[in-house]
Amino acid sequence: MLKRQFKPLVSARELDLARLRQRLEKQARFQRSSAGVQIESVDRGQVKGEWQLPAAAAPAPVILYLHGGGYAFCSPLTHRPLTTGLAKTASCRVFSLDYRLAPEHPFPAAVEDALQGYRYLLEEGIDASSILVAGDSAGGGLSLALLLKLKALGEPLPTGAMLLSPWTDMATTGQSLQENESTCAMFTAAAIRRAAGIYVNGGDTREPLASPLYGDLRGLPPLLVYVSDSELLRDDAVRLAKSAVDHGVDVSLRVWPRQPHVWPVFYPLLPEAKRCVAEMAEFARQRMI
């Protein structure tokens, strides 16, 4: 289904971004959130998003979730099956941030919004040690950018980060962009390069807040990284994990065979997605005791 429907749509020579956004949002309205998880919208100027609240969950800990979509599409709504499933499985509240999208709002708008979203949680009385950041694809790269920004500002870091197929290299230099083009179910290398161009908007593709692969990762909290061996962004995750280890960061890299890009978004349809969410929930519990 992905190869026949989604991949041609996002890889078309003339990308109709408005149509893509509309289609994904429409499909999302028919997806089911996990039972027993209440949704509460938030709109505080620059901070927009939604709380996903499992029954009987305590005020803390909290997962700050940054959705993927190439920095140009998707939203908290499109990712609700995954995020509400994670909230319920981990028995903790999730704040899913609705950050601004390119090309209307290119880099660094998403980083600025992620920073404000994190500060919003602190202002709500949640200690940094009780916050775990998570994100997929572009949201995985954005999670790392947030950590780098917080470190640069001298602000308290969260207790860890969970990254699903993180997009970490806007310079698009990974060998897997060529090696996995036929096996990746969702994207072509040309589509990845075009999305990078839309996001950086003529800027430096190796700027660490846009491409965390090139950042100084020293001092970051523990990272849990997932990626598929058959997807285009395999090397974005593998090289990021190696750089993190070289910088003294505690990293767990889990490379799964023959999965689509960010397969946990298909929770609870895929058994592999359910297993991955269960592992993420366990990591969250261990980091936020």
Task: List all residues 6 or more positions away from 90 whose beta carbon is below 8 Å from its beta carbon.
Answer: 63, 280, 281, 284, 285
Mean pLDDT of the chain: 96
pTM exceeding 0.95: yes
Q: What is the mean pLDDT of residues 155-167?
A: 98
| pLDDT tens digits along 238-265 | 999 999 999 999 999 999 999 999 999 9
Q: How many domains does the chain have?
A: 1
pLDDT score recorded for residue 289: 65
* Proportion of the chain above pLDDT 90, given as a percent: 90
Q: Which of 56-60, 82-86, 158-162, 191-195 has the lowest mean pLDDT?
A: 56-60
The answer to whether residues 111 and 143 touch, using CB atoms and an 8 Å cutoff, is: no
Task: Name the residues annotated as catalytic.
Answer: 137, 231, 261
Q: What is the CATH number of the domain that holds 248?
A: 3.40.50.1820
Average pLDDT over residues 131-150: 98
Predicted confidence (pLDDT) at residue 278 exceeds the cutoff of 80: yes
Beta pairing partners, 134: 65, 162
- The two structure tokens encoding residue 2: 């992905």
Split at pLDDT 50, 70, 90, the class of 30 is confident
CA gyration radius for the chain?
17
Tokens of 13: 């020579």
SS (H, E, C) the chain: CHHHHHHHHHHCCCCCHHHHHHHHHHHHCCCCCCCCEEEEEEEECCEEEEEEEECCCCCCCEEEEECCCCCCCCCCCCCHHHHHHHHHHHCCEEEEECCCCCCCCCCCHHHHHHHHHHHHHHHCCCCHHHEEEEEECHHHHHHHHHHHHHHHHCCCCCCEEEEECCCCCCCCCCCHHHHCCCCCCCCCHHHHHHHHHHHHCCCCCCCCCCCHHHCCCCCCCCEEEEEECCCCCHHHHHHHHHHHHHCCCCEEEEEECCCCCCHHHHCCCCHHHHHHHHHHHHHHHHHCC
Q: Tell me which residue range forms the domain holding 30.
A: 2-287
Give the type of residue at 21.
R
